[in-house]
Each structure stands twice: as structure tokens, then as C-alpha cells.
């Protein structure tokens, strides 16, 4: 390979719950094509080391807000376009490598193990010789097939995911380093891969790396990575709100020496299993009503409450009205002078139209929510004063605030997560000076975490219910912690050496 290697970029990312009636459409992926892909990632911009050592070519990537199962026709349209764009590249020059930019927890109507299937299709275009490096969310899933189709693979080491860009850059750096290792003979020099499935499936709200035991578990990852002959080490917690056999924890270590990568993978997997009973929720928990009671009794302000069962960034529909219904029934918030509350948020496209027509300051009656998920509570009707209207949000498109008594409810045209102080400030709200802030979220993202004087995790119903047993998984492998509390024998955590991507994969049960 006398010239710079040609590396294509492709992938689709969406964390999808199979326990919500919501569906994810193609538009939610906000696809980027060609040069738009390079523009997204500063570490690939002109003048950077990675840009200098390889010829990066964007095919298509799409990152959707987590939600329900992806509509099959929309996925197939993206898949076809990715293959066509890659074929156009191959017609000009062979593709030496592919950065596979995915999440790892996407489900599509009528399909299984979607990320592995998409990569299988991609390999029919780029060929078996191309080296593939995947970057993933630690809440993704790594089946044996996905481990086989990739040559390098890594994931975030922090939850919340403050190392997202660092992880993606590492995936690209590992790829160019391997491609450059033996410029003329690298095709016979693929990394070895050790894979360990672990019978654990926990939500992120019990496995945040802010807290033990995940903090110590993930602190071991860079130590394994630093071992001689190791390229990368990674731990996937897996995605708890989908019901597929691939949904469970996984450890992978890649490198150049079988014994070394197996030893590293076994250390990580053994520690994970050793502490599996030590994982607990990252904050005090309670029913929604109990959280409100605690917030009213506390003097700490602002008091944050996570309405966790409908968290849109975990895959919830975002339009469950259970929490908001309970909140507005409370007599403590009937008057404007009562303790102030922000509730974020509830979608209602028709409600937004009424609010826009009336304008800021008007008194309106609207009905919102439960258009997608009405399993736990129906649409909610509210009469209040329009506090603010804002246009142009990437996800919500249009946002408004309706004040009902002392409760300021954010109403959106389309669902949106509220993770940043600016999300509130732009709507004329001040979360720092509000008594109680209720957000559809699981663990608090960094800005909200730093802002909260006190915080409780509300165990509310929805498509990402924290009470996993309440959801009804039927297809995950068993036994599986915490679904099964008794294991008649310790799990076999012997690392499996996965064949190279250009070799056949023996079909073994995970």
C-alpha cells in the first residue's frame, strides 16, 4: 500500500426499545453524507494526524434519538444508499478500511442482530480484505456474528458518555495504526479477537461509571489495554430494553497474542461477574408520588426527579403522561405562589398549534401526550398560561411552556431530551432557581447532575421501565442476572477466540 489507505465511513445508530409501541422513522436519523460525515468529526478535519495519514471518505451515517423499533422500509432505504455509495467508491479505488460508526442496540421490524446484518451487506461491496473498525456505545450489544464481521471494535468507557468522541477517535486511530503496521502485507496481519459473553443484563441507571462497582470495573479497561500485544479492551453492559438473544454483557480484547488477549478478557469478565450482585441504582429511588413527597419535604433546591420509565434517550416514546398526570393532581402546586416545578416534557403536535395561534401570555386549553404510548395513562388536558414559544430545535422543532398553577410544563411538537441548562434557559426557565425539576431521563447528564442539590430516580412505567421483570422478556438467554437470582453453576467465562472476518464463523450458541 504505497499511498495513503482509503477508509470509508458508514453506520446507523439508534438505541431502540422493543417494549414501546413507538416506531422510529428514517427522518429521525438526520443522515449525513459524503463531506458532511467528515465535517461532523473534528479529529478528521484537514490538518489533523488522522486526516494526514489516510484518505477518509464519508458514505452515510445516521444517529437517531433513541426510540422504538425502526421501520423496515426506512432501514432498507438507508442500507441501499450506503451500499450504493460504497460501490461508487470501490469503482474508483479499493477500500482498505471502514470505520463502522454505530451504537449497537438498534432493532428493525422483522430483523435480528441488525448491526451485524448491515455490516455483512457492506462487506459484499467492500470485500473481505477491507479492515473494519467499529465504535460503539457501551449499552450496545456484541453478538458473535458482529464480533466476527469486525476486525477492531471498541466502546465508550464512561456512563454518562463523556468519552464519546474520544472513543470514536480511538477506533479510527487503531484502524490507521493497524493499516500502517505492515503497509504491503497487512491483509495477512489481522488482529486476534477474544470475546466473552456474560449472563448479566442491567440498565445504565445501575451501571453508571460514576459509582461503584462500575467505576472500578471500567478503570481496569485501560490497564488491560496497556498490556503488551493488546490493541484495545472493552466492556459492553448491553441494552436492557430489547428482547433479543444478543442482549447481555460482553467483554472483548483485541491484539496480537492469543494468550495475552485471552488473559485480559478473562480478567475483565471475571471481575464483572464477581461484582454482579453489587450493582444498585445510582440515586435514591421511589414511586413518582414518593419522589414528589420527598422533594416537598426537602430544603435542598433545586430538587431533581428522573421520570425514568419514559426516558427518550434510552428508547422511551417520550409521550407517556403517567408522571405529568400525577403531578397536576397534587394540591401543593395549584397556585402560582406554590413551590415552582419544571416538567420536561410532553409532546403534543396539535397542542403546539393551539399555543402558537394563541401566543405568549394567552390562556389556552390543550390536550397532549399518549398518542403513541397510552398503555399507562391517556392523553392529558391542561388549561394554563403560555409562558414561552421557541422554534428551530433539531429534535423538537417547536417547543412551548404552559404554566398551570406553579407547574411549568414543556410541550413539544416532537419528543426531545432535556440534558442542558441552555435547553431550559432558551424557554425562559431557570432550573437553578426552581424548587423541583422533573426530567424524562435516567441518570442525570453532567450539567444536570452538577446542578442538582438533591436527586431521586422515579421508578415510573414506560418503554424503558427500570423494573425489568415488569416488562416481560421472553427471548433473552437464560439464566440471566437479575432476571434469575439463582445460578446452579458459575457461568463459563472462558474467552472465545473469534475467527478473522475473512474466515468462516462456526455457528455456536452464545
Helix (H, G, I), strand (E, B) or coil at 284: coil
Residue 262's pLDDT is 99
- 228 close to 260: Cβ distance less than 8 angstroms: yes
- 315 close to 67: Cβ distance less than 8 angstroms: yes
Question: What would the mean pLDDT of 244-251 be, rounded to a whole number?
Answer: 99
Residues 6+ apart with CB under 8 A from 45: 38, 39, 51
pLDDT tens-digit series, residues 62-88: 999 999 999 999 999 999 999 999 999
What confidence tier does 506 reach under pLDDT thresholds 50, 70, 90?
A: confident
Nearest to 307 by CA among 415, 429, 441: 441
Nearest to 138 by CA among 117, 159, 166: 159
Q: For residue 355, is pLDDT > 50? A: yes
Q: For residue 187, is pLDDT > 50? A: no
pLDDT tens-digit series, residues 399-431: 999 999 999 999 999 999 999 999 999 999 999
HSE, side-chain direction, 13 A CA sphere, residue 173: 12
- Please state the separation of Cα 467 from the chain's center in Å: 19
415 to 212, 343, 350: CA distances (angstroms): 32, 13, 13
Q: For residue 510, is pLDDT > 60? A: no
Percent of the chain scoring above 90 in pLDDT? 96
Nearest to 209 by CA among 417, 449, 16, 423: 449
Q: How far apart are CA 221 and CA 214, in angstroms?
A: 11
Residue 222's pLDDT is 98
Cell 399555543 -> residue: 355
Residue 116's pLDDT is 99
Helix axes 114-126, 72-92, angle to 10 degrees: 30
Cell 426530567 -> residue: 439
Nearest to 5 by CA among 123, 91, 130: 130
- 176 close to 152: Cβ distance less than 8 angstroms: no
Residue 497's pLDDT is 98
pLDDT tens-digit series, residues 120-159: 999 999 999 999 999 999 999 999 999 999 999 999 999 9
271 to 169, 263, 266, 331: CA distances (angstroms): 27, 12, 8, 49
Residues 6+ apart with CB under 8 A from 180: 5, 53
68 to 25, 137, 372, 393, 397: CA distances (angstroms): 9, 17, 10, 21, 19
- 199 close to 481: Cβ distance less than 8 angstroms: yes
> What is the DSSP secondary-structure string of 181-228?
HSTTTGGG-PPEEEEEEESB---GGG--TTSTTHHHHHHTHHHHHTST
Q: How far apart are CA 98 and CA 37, in angstroms?
A: 13
> Rg of the chain's alpha carbons, rounded to an integer?
24
Residue 118's pLDDT is 99
What is the widest separation between alpha-carbon atoms in the chain?
75
Which element (helix H / strand E) includes 181?
helix 164-181
Model pTM score: 0.95
What confidence tier does 188 reach under pLDDT thresholds 50, 70, 90?
A: low
Length of the chain in terms of residues written: 510
pLDDT tens-digit series, residues 270-296: 999 999 999 999 999 999 999 999 999
Q: For residue 507, is pLDDT > 90? A: no
Q: How far apart are CA 10 and CA 126, in angstroms?
A: 12
Q: How far apart are CA 61 and CA 50, in angstroms?
A: 19
Q: For residue 257, is pLDDT > 60? A: yes
Residue 182's pLDDT is 55
Nearest to 181 by CA among 189, 173, 193: 189
CB-based burial of residue 318 (10 Å sphere; 0-12 exposed, 13-18 middle, 19+ buried)? buried
The domains of the chain are located at 6-280+493-498, 285-465
Question: What would the mean pLDDT of 305-314 be, rounded to a whole number?
Answer: 97
128 to 41, 50, 73, 122, 503: CA distances (angstroms): 27, 24, 27, 10, 9
Cell 403513541 -> residue: 372
Cis, peptide link before residue 479, omega less than 30° from 0: yes
DSSP assigned state of 111: -
Amino acid at each position: 500500500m504505497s499511498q495513503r489507505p482509503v477508509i470509508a465511513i458508514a453506520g446507523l445508530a439508534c438505541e431502540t426499545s422493543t417494549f414501546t409501541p413507538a416506531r422510529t422513522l428514517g427522518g429521525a436519523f438526520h443522515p449525513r453524507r459524503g463531506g458532511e460525515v467528515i465535517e461532523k468529526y473534528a479529529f478528521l478535519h484537514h490538518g489533523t494526524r488522522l486526516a494526514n495519514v489516510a484518505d477518509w471518505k464519508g458514505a452515510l451515517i445516521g444517529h437517531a434519538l433513541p426510540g422504538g423499533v425502526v421501520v423496515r422500509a426506512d432501514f432498507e432505504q438507508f442500507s441501499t444508499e450506503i451500499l450504493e455509495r460504497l460501490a461508487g467508491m470501490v469503482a474508483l479505488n479499493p477500500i482498505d478500511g471502514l470505520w463502522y460508526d454505530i451504537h449497537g442496540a438498534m432493532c428493525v421490524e422483522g430483523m435480528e442482530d441488525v448491526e451485524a446484518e448491515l455490516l455483512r451487506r457492506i462487506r459484499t461491496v467492500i470485500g473481505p480484505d477491507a479492515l473494519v473498525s467499529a465504535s460503539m456505545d457501551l449499552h450496545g450489544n456484541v453478538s458473535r456474528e458482529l464480533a466476527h464481521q469486525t476486525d477492531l471494535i471498541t466502546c465508550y468507557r464512561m456512563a454518562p458518555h463523556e468519552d464519546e468522541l474520544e472513543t470514536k477517535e480511538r477506533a479510527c486511530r487503531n484502524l490507521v495504526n493497524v493499516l500502517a503496521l505492515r503497509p504491503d502485507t497487512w491483509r495477512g496481519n489481522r488482529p486476534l479477537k477474544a470475546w466473552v459473553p456474560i449472563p448479566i443484563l442491567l440498565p445504565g441507571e445501575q451501571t453508571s461509571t460514576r459509582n461503584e462497582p462500575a467505576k472500578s470495573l471500567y478503570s481496569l479497561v485501560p490497564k488491560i489495554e496497556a498490556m503488551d500485544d493488546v490493541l484495545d479492551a472493552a466492556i459492553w453492559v448491553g441494552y436492557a430494553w430489547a428482547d433479543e438473544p444478543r442482549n447481555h454483557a460482553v467483554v472483548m480484547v483485541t491484539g496480537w497474542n492469543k494468550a495475552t488477549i485471552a488473559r485480559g478478557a478473562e480478567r475483565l469478565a471475571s471481575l464483572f461477574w464477581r461484582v454482579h450482585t453489587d450493582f444498585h441504582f445510582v440515586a435514591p429511588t421511589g414511586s413518582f408520588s414518593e419522589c414528589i413527597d420527598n422533594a416537598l419535604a426537602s430544603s435542598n433546591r433545586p430538587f431533581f426527579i428522573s421520570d425514568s420509565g419514559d426516558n427518550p434517550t434510552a428508547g422511551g416514546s417520550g409521550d407517556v403522561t403517567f408522571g405529568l398526570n400525577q403531578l397536576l393532581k397534587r394540591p401543593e402546586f395549584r397556585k402560582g405562589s406554590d413551590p415552582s416545578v419544571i416538567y420536561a416534557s410532553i409532546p403534543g403536535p396539535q397542542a403546539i398549534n393551539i399555543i402558537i395561534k394563541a401566543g405568549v401570555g394567552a390562556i389556552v386549553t390543550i390536550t397532549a401526550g399518549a398518542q403513541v404510548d397510552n398503555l399507562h395513562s391517556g392523553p392529558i388536558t391542561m388549561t394554563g398560561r403560555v409562558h414561552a414559544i421557541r422554534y428551530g430545535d433539531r429534535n423538537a422543532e417547536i417547543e412551548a411552556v404552559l404554566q398551570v398553577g406553579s407547574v411549568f410544563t414543556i410541550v413539544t411538537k416532537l419528543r426531545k431530551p432535556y440534558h442542558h441548562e441552555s435547553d431550559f434557559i432558551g424557554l425562559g426557565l431557570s432550573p437553578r432557581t426552581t424548587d423541583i425539576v422533573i426530567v424524562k431521563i435516567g441518570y442525570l447528564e453532567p450539567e444536570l447532575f452538577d446542578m442538582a442539590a438533591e436527586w431521586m430516580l422515579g421508578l415510573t412505567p414506560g418503554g424503558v421501565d427500570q423494573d425489568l421483570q415488569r416488562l416481560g422478556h421472553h427471548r433473552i438467554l437464560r439464566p440471566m442476572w437479575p432476571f434469575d437470582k439463582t445460578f446452579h453453576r458459575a457461568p463459563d467465562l472462558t474467552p472465545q477466540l473469534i475467527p478473522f472476518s475473512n474466515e468462516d464463523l462456526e455457528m455456536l450458541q452464545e
